[in-house]
Amino acid sequence: MSIDKTMSIEQILQVNVGIADILMESGMHCLGCIMAGGENLEQACAVHGIDAEALVEKINASLAQA
């Protein structure tokens, strides 16, 4: 399975909890935040100044190797 930027952080972590490490390394340190269930990855990236497309590629590459 792959993820996309329209998925919420909560949905992404349900795919593979190990994705949390990638998110944290990318500067997204609020995984337990109440917004994690309400905003999608693209919105979270915008708030944190992270390139959503690059992050999606990195996550999906990691999932492909699993």
Q: Enter the pTM of the model.
A: 0.88
pLDDT of residue 30: 73
- How confident is the prediction along the chain (66 residues), in pLDDT tens digits per residue? 899 999 998 899 899 999 999 999 999 877 777 766 788 999 999 989 999 999 999 999 999 997
Looking at domain 9-65, which of 1.10.3910.10, 3.40.50.1220, 2.60.40.740, 3.90.1200.10 is its CATH number? 1.10.3910.10
Q: What is the largest CA-CA distance in the chain?
A: 30
Burial per residue of 37-62, b for 16 or more beta-carbon CB atoms within 10 angstroms, e otherwise: eebbbbbbbeeeebebeebbebbeee
The span from the first CA to the last CA of the chain, in angstroms, equals 10
